[in-house]
Amino acid sequence: MTDEVPLSSVARRLRVPRGTGLGGFIYGTILVLSVLVAAARAYPHEAGHIAALVAVTSFVFWLAHVYAHGLSYSVTHDVHLSLAELRRIAGREGSIVGAALLPIAALLLGAFGLLSTRAAVWAAFGVGLAALVVEGIIFARVERMGALGTLAIVTANLALGAALVGLKLLVNPSD
């Protein structure tokens, strides 16, 4: 016997929109943290350049996902890809770019001189790590996991983020 309560039809319908962008947000967040590692090394005193690299990289990866999923859809369903379907795919994958917005905002604080570049990069990392925690919690709640399951998912997300923070410290130990 399980503790699970069957999902109502309303709950099932709500799962789809909430879960649709979650994978993209997690992917986008990890992408942003990865770009931060390289960009902070390349432009240690240029928060604006780092923000631009994060934005452009996120956009290019979003575009690549839309293209790849569009081709896949067309082949899988044996149809010509309609503009409406391409828009649906683009919207679904938009969370990849959405994941970059708060870290870019943190970097822009450095670009406008409100924070040092070093502080802005660490703020962007902090925002990214916090996003991974929230994304893990959302997943665990949608899946109705208990405290242990939630802790496991959040830990897995944070482990990915922490690995990137470790990589950043490895490539730029002065930070």
Tens-digit pLDDT profile for residues 61-77: 999 999 999 999 999 99
- 95 in a structural domain: yes
- 1 in a structural domain: no
Q: What is the pLDDT of residue 65?
A: 94
If one counts the domains in the chain, the total is: 1
Whether residue 23 has pLDDT greater than 60: yes
Q: How far is CA 153 from CA 11, 34, 114, 143, 164, in A?
A: 21, 20, 35, 11, 17
User: Which amino acid makes up residue 47?
Assistant: A
Name residues whose C-beta falls within 8 Å of residue 42's C-beta, 6 or more positions apart in sequence: 49
Domain assignment of residue 61, given as a range = 22-168
CB atoms within 10 A of CB 166: 11
Q: What is the helix (H) or strand (E) element at residue 132, kind and residue range?
A: helix 117-142
- 59 in a structural domain: yes
- 101 in a structural domain: yes
- When pLDDT is cut at 50, 70 and 90, the band that residue 6 belongs to is low
- 122 in a structural domain: yes
- 100 in a structural domain: yes
In the predicted model, what is the mean pLDDT of residues 104-119?
Answer: 97
In the predicted model, what is the mean pLDDT of residues 76-88?
Answer: 93
- 4 in a structural domain: no
- 6 in a structural domain: no
Closest CA relative to residue 169, chosen from 54, 32, 40:
40
Beta strands in 94-169 (DSSP E): none
In the predicted model, what is the mean pLDDT of residues 108-128?
Answer: 96
Whether residue 5 has pLDDT greater than 60: no
Whole-prediction pTM: 0.81
Give the angle subtended at the CA of 57 by the CAs of 90 and 118, to the nearest 5°: 135
- When pLDDT is cut at 50, 70 and 90, the band that residue 41 belongs to is confident
More confident site: 5 or 120: 120
DSSP-assigned letters across all residues of 13-80: HHHHHHHHTHHHHHHHHHHHHHHHHHHHHH-TT-HHHHHHHHHHHHHHHHHHHHHHHHHHHHHHHTSP
- When pLDDT is cut at 50, 70 and 90, the band that residue 98 belongs to is very high
Please tell me the least confidently modeled range out of 4-18, 37-51, 108-122, 135-149: 4-18
